[in-house]
Structure 1
Amino acid sequence: MQSIKLPSNPPTSPHPIFNLSFRIFFSAAAVFAIVVMTLWAFVFTGHTNIDVHAINPLYWHGHEMVYGYALAVVAGFLLTAVKTWTGVMMPHGYKLLGIFTCWLLARVGWLAFGLGIDIGMAQSAWLYLAAMFDMLFIGSMAFVIFRAVLQVKQYKQMGILAKLALLTLGNGLCYWGVISANMNVTKIGMYLGFYLIIGLVLTIGRRVVPFFIERGLSIPNAAGVAETVTVRNSKAQDIASLLFYLAFFLTDLFYPNPYLLTVTALGVALVNMVRLMGWYHRGIWQKPLLWSLFVAFLGMCLSFVLYALQPWVGYNHSIALHGLAIAGVGMMTIAMMSRVSLGHTGRSIHTPPKTLNAIFGLMVLVFISRVLLPLVDMSHYSLWIMMAQGAWIGCFILFCYSYLRILASPRPDGLFG
Structure 2
Amino acid sequence: MQVIDRRKALSIPPIWRLAFRPFFLAGSVYALLAVPLWVAAWTGLWPGLQPTGGWLAWHRHEMLFGFAMAIVAGFLLTAVQTWTGQVAPSGNRLMALALVWLAARLGWLFGLPLALLVPLELLFPLAVALLMAQMLWAVRQKRNYPIVAVLSLMIAADVLVLVGLLQGDDGLQRQGVWAGLWLVAALMALIGGRVIPFFTQRGLGWVEAIKPWVWLDIALLVGTALIAILYAMGLGLQAHPLLGLLFALVGAGHLLRLARWYDKGIWGVALLWSLHLAMLWLVVAAFGLALWHFGLLVNASPALHALSVGSMSGLILAMIARVTLGHTGRPLQPPAGVVAAFVLFNLGTLARVFLAAVWPVAGLWLAALCWTLAFLIYAWRYAPMLVRARVDGHPG
Aligned residue for 2:355? 373
What is the CA–CA distance in structure 1 between the aligned matches of 2:2 and 2:186, rounded to whole Å? Answer: 33
Aligned residue for 1:66? 64
Aligned residue for 2:5? 9
What is the CA–CA distance in structure 2 between the aligned matches of 1:341 and 1:251, rounded to whole Å? Answer: 35
Confirm or deny that 1:363 pairs with 2:342: no
What is the CA–CA distance in structure 1 between the aligned matches of 2:103 and 2:73, rounded to whole Å? Answer: 16
**Matching of residues 325-344 of structure 1 within 5 Å:** 325-344=308-327
Q: CA deviation at 1:229?
A: 5.0
Match of 2:207 among 221, 228, 231: 228
**Matching of residues 36-185 of structure 1 within 5 Å:** 36-46=34-44, 47-49=46-48, 55=53, 57-113=55-111, 124-125=112-113, 127-185=114-172
Aligned residue for 2:22? 24
Aligned residue for 1:120? none
Structure 2 residue ranges without an equivalent (≥5): none
Kindly provide the amino acid, as one letter, of the partner of residue 289 in structure 1.
Answer: L
Q: CA deviation at 1:205?
A: 0.5
Instruction: Check conservation: 1:20, 1:92, Cα contact below 8 A.
Output: yes
Kindly provide the amino acid, as one letter, of the partner of residue 411 in structure 1.
Answer: R
Confirm or deny that 1:216 pairs with 2:203: yes
Confirm or deny that 1:348 pairs with 2:344: no
Q: CA deviation at 1:247?
A: 3.7
Instruction: Check conservation: 2:19, 2:89, Cα contact below 8 A.
Output: yes
CA RMSD of aligned residues (A): 1.9
Instruction: Check conservation: 1:251, 1:260, Cα contact below 8 A.
Output: no
Kindly provide the amino acid, as one letter, of the partner of residue 369 in structure 2.
Answer: G
Instruction: Check conservation: 1:284, 1:290, Cα contact below 8 A.
Output: yes
* Greater Cα offset, 288-297 or 168-177: 168-177
**Counterpart of 2:5 in 1: which secondary structure?**
coil
Number of aligned positions between the proteins: 389
Q: CA deviation at 1:279?
A: 0.5
Instruction: Check conservation: 2:247, 2:287, Cα contact below 8 A.
Output: yes
Aligned residue for 1:121? none
Task: Using structure 2 for the length normalisation, give the TM-score.
Answer: 0.93
**Counterpart of 2:168 in 1: which secondary structure?**
coil
| Cα displacement string for residues 153-190 of structure 1 (whole angstroms, at most 9, x for unaligned residues) | 11222111111111112212222221232222222222
In structure 2, the CA distance between the partners of 1:109 and 1:67, relative to structure 1 (3 Å rule), is: same
Match of 1:402 among 371, 381, 389: 381
Kindly provide the amino acid, as one letter, of the partner of residue 314 in structure 2.
Answer: M
Instruction: Check conservation: 1:233, 1:278, Cα contact below 8 A.
Output: no
Kindly provide the amino acid, as one letter, of the partner of residue 386 in structure 1.
Answer: W
What is the CA–CA distance in structure 2 between the aligned matches of 1:31 and 1:247, rounded to whole Å? Answer: 32
Instruction: Check conservation: 1:269, 1:305, Cα contact below 8 A.
Output: yes
Structure 1 residue ranges without an equivalent (≥5): 114-123, 219-226
In structure 2, the CA distance between the partners of 1:105 and 1:7, relative to structure 1 (3 Å rule), is: farther
Instruction: Check conservation: 1:330, 1:363, Cα contact below 8 A.
Output: no
Aligned residue for 1:383? 362
Kindly provide the amino acid, as one letter, of the partner of residue 90 in structure 2.
Answer: H
Confirm or deny that 1:190 pairs with 2:177: yes
**Counterpart of 1:9 in 2: which secondary structure?**
helix
What is the CA–CA distance in structure 2 between the aligned matches of 1:304 and 1:175, rounded to whole Å? Answer: 26
Aligned residue for 1:297? 279
Instruction: Check conservation: 2:43, 2:361, Cα contact below 8 A.
Output: no
What is the CA–CA distance in structure 1 between the aligned matches of 2:89 and 2:223, rounded to whole Å? Answer: 36
What is the CA–CA distance in structure 1 between the aligned matches of 2:228 and 2:203, rounded to whole Å? Answer: 33
Q: CA deviation at 1:111?
A: 1.7
Instruction: Check conservation: 1:303, 1:321, Cα contact below 8 A.
Output: yes
Q: CA deviation at 1:382?
A: 1.3
Aligned residue for 2:299? 316
| Cα displacement string for residues 13-43 of structure 1 (whole angstroms, at most 9, x for unaligned residues) | 5421111000110000010001111221222
In structure 2, the CA distance between the partners of 1:243 and 1:140, relative to structure 1 (3 Å rule), is: closer
Task: Using structure 1 for the length normalisation, give the TM-score.
Answer: 0.88
What is the CA–CA distance in structure 1 between the aligned matches of 2:266 and 2:77, rounded to whole Å? Answer: 28
What is the CA–CA distance in structure 1 between the aligned matches of 2:124 and 2:231, rounded to whole Å? Answer: 28
What is the CA–CA distance in structure 1 between the aligned matches of 2:203 and 2:365, rounded to whole Å? Answer: 35
**Counterpart of 2:156 in 1: which secondary structure?**
helix
Confirm or deny that 1:280 pairs with 2:262: yes
